[in-house]
Amino acid sequence: MIPIKVLVPSGVLGLGFDLEALNNGVKNNPDIISIDGGSTDSGPYSLGSGKSKYSRAAIKAEWKSLMIAREKVNVPLVIGSCGTCGTNGMVDWMENITIELAEELNQKIKIAKLYCQQEKNFIKKKFQLSKIFPLNPAPMLNDQLIEEMTNIVALAGAEQIQECINTGAEIILAGRTTDTAIISALPLMKGADPGSSWHGAKVVECGALCSTNPTSGVVMVEFDKTGFTVEPMSKNAFCTSETVAAHMLYENADPYILHEPGGYMDVTYSNYYNIDKKKVRVEGAKWHSSKQYSVKLEGAKISGYQSSLLVLLRDKKYVENVKKWTDKLSKFLKKEINDRMDIDTSEYSLEFRHIGLNSTLGELEKNIRIPVEVGVLCLITSKNQISTEIAKLINPFLLHFPLSLNEELPTFAFPFSPVHSDRGCVYGFALNHILELDNPMDAFQIEISEV
Amino acid sequence: MLTLGEKVRKIRSKNAGPFWITIDIFCGNKKTYKEVCNKLKNSEIINLLMISEQQLKRFEIDDLNVIKFSFPRKIIQGDIFDRDMHGAQLAVLLSEMKF
């Protein structure tokens, strides 16, 4: 069965890929097509709300190309972390899209769904049994925090994806999964070198980002008993030993070690060399199995309800004194909010950011100069949905607040009507923990359907 | 005096999950790499990023002529006080450092 070829169309479904390169990949007879569907990279909103970051239309258009490609080669098509966050609802959302497409394309397929979402009571029980451990750094876990979370998922690894492959499903829709497991699962099953299976998966998890032409998307990785070979499928993309090796640095705190369910891989002694202009061969990664099987947990909770206002200052005196102005204004507003609304400062946060001065880096900014204008972004986050009312109270003062008492009332620039924007519910990541399991499937469920 | 950004080929920063930031300095050649390895002190990075010494991990990757720094985020990604969801603008601080 070895070698095993895995076709990776792009770093994530929704980002786009080169169709010609996808066709080249199909012509090279892959044994499986694997694509990631999610990440925490865009922040906690997706997991908190259980919604996809990308539009349904973009997902459907790209998934259609992949379902057509899959039918041509008749191999499994796997997506991990459906709908960005990989909740059960997002697996079902992806199934809904798949069913629509199967009807449009007149395809008859067997689907395996891997559910990775965790019940709060299950997590509470595991926490009480000391089966949940914090990584560094991690929020302090307790029953109340578990209760506050809107969604909790466990990251599936190769074992759970292999269970799905073993069902004989043509399409596998997985909930939250490590980026690499959807790629390493098949080569590991078929006896490829374990260290290289994980290393190769890590190299191509962002598609053609390991090549000279990242936006072309499509790459093929071939695994065998001693290593792997990676090749971009676009005619305008090339892999070099440097582009491939450099990918271990990307989004990785440690450039040599990658933790996965069931162990970790170490690439300290890996060798990278070009076979030809396009292909790179890699050998030498080591896999270390852990005694205790564990999976990583992700969770998000509601941080509050947020409203924002933006005001533009062009008057030189105010631009030069903007920090002093917002400090005075903030103090004044907190008193007004307390007097008029009877809301204590512990119930909300009020923050001013100075766009043009240091709104990107905050206190770390070293290079503050006086600009021609400043945007003042006012952010109100409250425990309940009162942030809108607070924003409305702030509105006239943001427009007219004077620096000194004996001056004519200033009027600044509001770019919008209404001035405030309700950002609704905002979320925060609440877990950076691992969950120990006796059996890899203990926190996961598979459902099969046919269309 | 050159800045670090002018000296090396590229500096990038990025989230490594919601709880960590990682910064990669691609020196471009062995000579620059050796020079930056020798001259760039952890204490400068700690001051620049306002983090403690224990939080900073430093890696020198000879094969790639890369120096890498990783450290836990002071503010978790996407927290209401987070200003840069992807942490990618932090690289500018190192780029503008006098070297």
What is the tens place of the pLDDT at every residue in A283-329? Answer: 999 999 999 999 999 999 999 999 999 999 999 999 999 999 999 99
**pLDDT value of position A185:** 98
pLDDT of A29 > 80? The answer is yes
Strand partners, B22: B14, B70
pLDDT of A436 > 90? The answer is yes
Name all contacts of A52-60 with Cβ < 8 Å and 24+ positions apart: A52/A14, A52/A83, A52/A84, A52/A85, A52/A90, A52/A93, A53/A14, A53/A84, A54/A13, A54/A14, A54/A84, A55/A14, A56/A93, A56/A97, A58/A14, A58/A16, A59/A13, A59/A14, A59/A83, A59/A94, A59/A97, A60/A97, A60/A100, A60/A101
Residues of A in contact with B80 (CB under 8 A): 303-304, 306, 349, 351, 379, 381, 426, 428
Residues of A in contact with B22 (CB under 8 A): 249, 251-253
pLDDT of A353 > 80? The answer is yes
**pLDDT value of position A405:** 86
Q: How confident is the model at residue B64 (pLDDT cuts 50, 70, 90)?
A: very high
| Cβ–Cβ contact B30 with A under 8 A | no
| Cβ–Cβ contact B64 with A under 8 A | yes
CB within 8 Å of A247: residues ≥ 6 apart: A202, A203, A206, A209, A210
Cβ(A247)–Cβ(B61) under 8 Å? no
Residues of A in contact with B81 (CB under 8 A): 349, 351
Spatial separation of the C-alpha atoms in residues A324 and A311, rounded to whole Å: 16
**pLDDT value of position B26:** 97
pTM higher than the cut 0.80? yes
Best mutation target among A257, A364, A383, A433 (most B Cβ atoms within 10 Å) is A364
**pLDDT value of position A30:** 98
Cβ(B12)–Cβ(B5) under 8 Å? no
Q: Do B17 and A251 touch (CB under 8 A)?
A: yes
User: What are the strands, taking DSSP E only, across A116-212?
Assistant: 132-134, 149-154, 171-174
Residues of B in contact with A347 (CB under 8 A): none
Choose among B76, B79, B89: nearest Cβ to A360.
B89
Spatial separation of the C-alpha atoms in residues A318 and A321, rounded to whole Å: 5
CB within 8 Å of A400: residues ≥ 6 apart: A409, A410, A411, A412
| Residue labelled with tokens 């076979």 | A275
| Cβ–Cβ contact B88 with A under 8 A | no
User: What are the strands, taking DSSP E only, across A280-339?
Assistant: 280-283, 286-289, 294-313
Q: How confident is the model at residue B38 (pLDDT cuts 50, 70, 90)?
A: very high
pLDDT of A1 > 80? The answer is no
In this structure, what is the dihedral angle of CA atoms A451, A86, A119, A202, given to the nearest 10 degrees? 120
